[in-house]
Copies of this chain bind each other. A is one copy, B any other.
Amino acid sequence: MTTLETISEQRCFDGTQGFYRHDSLACGGAMRFAVYLPAQAQIAPVPVLYFLAGLTCTEETATIKAGAQQLASELGMALVMPDTSPRDTGFEGATGDWEFGEGAGFYVDATVAPWASRFRMYSYVVDELPAFLATHFPVDTTRASICGHSMGGHGALTIALKNPGRYRSVSAFAPIVAPTQVPWGRKALPRYLGDNTARWAEYDACELVRLHNFPGSILIDQGEADRFLTEQLRPELFDQACAESGQSLLLRRHPGYDHSYYFIASFIDDHLRHHAQALGLA
């Protein structure tokens, strides 16, 4: 087990907002993540909500912009926000393109060199980070839920659908639901996973939900003024896949809202309450 390096800790809504770094085995180098611990964690371990951010984001983005700490403080829920990829990989092509490489890990375990040695965000988020948290923080990682935005919404949906026993609930803001069909996915997945499209399907929420349902209803919020709506996000594909496979889904469409954190902040409390109910906090 690697050691925990504290970057900063600041008091926030009676709890602590911290930023940390550790050496990741899955990602072959240093990884950063943010943890909000409510005051209740001083009494007993608290359940965890993972929030996975989108393209270009870091562990700071949702921490600063989503406004999730206030209600997490009331509910007694930890918020864990990892970075969106390994950093400083030095791989050719890893920086300079916001849709691929650093800041764009797509929450997969890459199988193609050189990415396979570092870009293993799937294993990092599902296995390594929870184990590390359980050792170093007063959190109960057996009570966990997962949420995300855009590429992170894709991460949340695919991770939950592949590991239904590990998460009590799942939700997403403006998620990529069909990466095998949209430009973002069709650009990134072959470079991480190779040309066999069957491998891509293992990280496609529309494909996964046809294999096995997630217990309980999935919550998705989508802004109708989102400029990525019709080309990259296409929530109707997931709506249809859920309908056809019997998956319970609450897909809410919000006129006027875009892809930004102003949209996320406007509805984050609904997501926290959704997860709190599943986690036995509400």
Query: With A64-B64, A67-B67, A70-B67 in contact, do A262 and B225 touch (Cβ < 8 Å)?
Result: no
Contacts of A10 in B (CB 8 A): 258, 260, 262-263
Of A12-20, A83-91, A114-122, A201-209, the one contacting chain B is A12-20
* Residue in contact with A11 in the complex, picked from B11, B14, B266, CB distance below 8 Å: B266
A11 near B70 with CB under 8 A, answer no
A223 within 8 A of B: yes
Contact call B265/A11, Cβ cutoff below 8 A: no
Centre residue among A69, A261, A265 by max chain B CB count within 10 A? A265
- A132 at interface, CB cutoff 8 A: no
Question: How many Å lie between the Cα of A64 and that of B262 in the bound state?
Answer: 8
Chain B neighbourhood of A12, CB < 8 A: 262-263, 265-266
List residues of A (246-266) whose CB comes within 8 Å of B's CBs: 254, 256-258, 260-263, 265-266
CB-based contact B67/A265 at 8 Å = yes
The 6 A-B pairs at the shortest CB distance, nearest first, are namely A12-B262, A11-B256, A67-B67, A10-B262, A11-B257, A13-B266
Chain B residues whose CB sits within 8 angstroms of the CB of A266 once the complex forms: 11-14, 70
Nearest Cβ distance between residue A57 and chain B, in whole angstroms?
Answer: 14
Q: Could you list some 11 contacts between A and B, CB below 8 A? A: A11-B225, A11-B254, A11-B262, A12-B262, A17-B262, A64-B64, A64-B65, A67-B265, A69-B262, A70-B265, A70-B266
Interface residue ranges, A against B (CB under 8 Å): 10-14, 17, 64-65, 67, 69-70, 223, 225, 254, 256-258, 260-263, 265-266
- Contact between B13 and A265 (Cβ–Cβ < 8 Å)? yes
Q: Give the residues in chain B near A13, CB-CB below 8 Å.
A: 265-266
Chain B residue numbers with a CB within 8 Å of A260 are 10
Q: Nearest chain-B residue to A63 (Cβ)? A: B262
A257 CB contacts on chain B under 8 angstroms: 11
Q: Which residue of B lies closest to A262 (CB)?
A: B12
Q: Which residue of B lies closest to A225 (CB)?
A: B11
Q: How far is the CB of A260 from chain B (nearest CB, A)?
A: 6
Measured between beta carbons, the chain B residues less than 8 angstroms from A11 are 223, 225, 254, 256-258, 262-263, 266
Question: How far apart sit A225 and B256, CA to CA, in the bound complex (Å)?
Answer: 41
Could you say which residues of chain B place their CB within 8 Å of the CB of A265? 12-13, 67, 69-70
Report A119 CB to chain B, min CB distance, Å. 29
Closest chain B residue, CB of each to CB of A69? B265
Bound Cα distance A64, B65 (Å) = 6
- In chain B, what residue has the closest Cβ to A266? B13
